[in-house]
Every structure is written in C-alpha cells, then in structure tokens.
Amino acid sequence: MTAVGTVRSAGSVEAATVTESQAQQIERDDPVSLGSDAPLCRILRHGPTALSDAELLALCLRAGRQGRDAVAFASELLASLGDVRALLNASPRRLAGIPGLGPARIGQLRAVLGLAERHAEGAICNRPLLTDTAAVRFFLKQALSGSEREVFACLFLDSRHHLLAFERLFFGSVDRASVHPREVLKAALHHNAAAVVLAHNHPSGSAEPSPADIRLTEDLRALLLQIDVRVLDHVVVGHGVTVSMAERGYL
C-alpha cells in the first residue's frame, strides 16, 4: 500500500477568537486558567498545537492533587507511564493504582481515548482505503499502539475498498496473540467483505514482522481467497510506528 492520503490533525482545528473580557472570565471560572497565558486561553486563541502534552492533559483532568496544580499533576502522570499513548491505553486497573486517579478521572481518560479513536475512524469511513493509507496507519496507531498486550484486528472493506467495519478479534499476552484463521473467515463472511486489512501490535515497541507474522499472513491469505476475499495488507504497529507487510513484499 502506498501512502498518498493525509489526515487532518487535531492541531489543524481553527482556533477561536478570545477577547480580553472573555479571558478574564475564563480565569475566574476555570481552575486550570491562571491568566491570559494559561492553557485554556491559549487553546482557544491558538489551537491545540500551542499546548504541551501535559497542558492538554491538564485541561482534561481540570485539577491537580495535594498541592500540585493540574499541569504539574499531568506531567507526573506522563512521566510515570511514558507518554500520552501509553497513558490513554493503560488499563483501568493499572490507572487505579496511581495516586490522584479515581473512577471519575479514569473515566475521563477513557472518554478521551474513545473520542480520539472515533475521530481517527471518521477519517477513513467514507473514502477508499487504498488511496488514503496515511489515514489507515494513523487510525491503526491510535487503535493498537500502546496496548499492554498483543491485539489482532481487521479492517473489513467492500468491493470499492470502503470501510465496512473494524474489529479487534483476538487478545493475547505481552508477546503473542493466538489467532484462529477460521474466526477471521467467519467475520469476513459476517460483514460481507470483499477485502480485508489485517493488523496487530507488538507491545515490545518494534514493528518488524516476525517469521510467525509472515506465516500467519500467508495462511490467512490462502484461506480468505477460498471465499474470494483479498488480503490487501497486514500492518504491524509498534510504538508510534507501523510497517506494511504489503510494502515489504510479503503480499
């Protein structure tokens, strides 16, 4: 698959115009805002790209804990888990063990992840995936990167390569997910798919296909051809990177 499409990033959202009186009102009403240069004022004036990861997270959390302001608390969370993707993909059980994160805040973080995934999915819903592979990779990184265990998923496509459905089919351990080819075939029939894009993540961070990945791809390709379903690609997702097995010549 050749990357010829683009995805509109969150940073491209048009910034709002904030008057001085509105900035003063924001400062009075919002605990994250401590002046006209505070995160809330800057995101309204300049958009999300004007803020650091910690500042964006602080706006979601709304407050800090035990003498720490929201930005300081957000910085601690990111440092403890590694980055934004790891934080948003962390399981509720893991998040519950972090001081300052109760059910309400964990729910907020899960909601942010859900919105991000739906935004990414929206970028690929109404356009042929073969002509917008950058959007596909962005979506798969959002959906699979950062997971603490291996996940195998499929994008099911119609005859014009528009998205019919996305499903996470199998969940495994930190280094392996058991994939049952017949279940993939059943899912393709269920969605009346004409083609599929396979995908899975490597929690280790490397996106290099393993020999087992290559064998699985060959097996699934042969099986799905029996029902006239083409495997267009198998995308391996690492930490912030993806590898297309089609581009590597395995398909």
**pLDDT given for residue 19 in this prediction:** 57
Cα distances from 190 to residues 25, 142, 167, 187, 195, in angstroms, run 53, 25, 12, 5, 13
Min mean pLDDT across 13-17, 44-48, 155-159, 172-176 is at 13-17
Rg of the chain over CA atoms, in angstroms?
A: 21
Percent of the chain with pLDDT over 90: 28
Fold of 128-244: Cytidine Deaminase; domain 2 (3.40.140)
How far apart are the C-alpha atoms of 70 and 112, rounded to whole Å? 17
Q: CB within 8 A of 228, min separation 6: which ones?
A: 194
Instruction: Share the mean pLDDT of the chain.
Output: 79
Domain with CATH 3.40.140.10 in the chain: 128-244
**pLDDT given for residue 130 in this prediction:** 58
pLDDT at 208 over 70: yes
How far apart are the C-alpha atoms of 152 and 202, rounded to whole Å? 10
Q: pLDDT digits over 78-130, tens only?
A: 888 888 877 877 888 888 888 888 898 888 888 887 787 777 666 666 666 65
**pLDDT given for residue 120 in this prediction:** 67
**pLDDT given for residue 60 in this prediction:** 84
Q: pLDDT digits over 4-36, tens only?
A: 333 333 344 444 555 555 555 544 445 454 455
pLDDT tier for residue 191 given thresholds of 50, 70 and 90:
very high
Any bridge partners for residue 234, and if so which?
Answer: 198
**pTM of model > 0.75:** no
Q: CB within 8 A of 5, min separation 6: which ones?
A: 127, 131, 132, 133, 134, 135
Q: pLDDT digits over 143-163, tens only?
A: 887 677 899 999 999 998 888
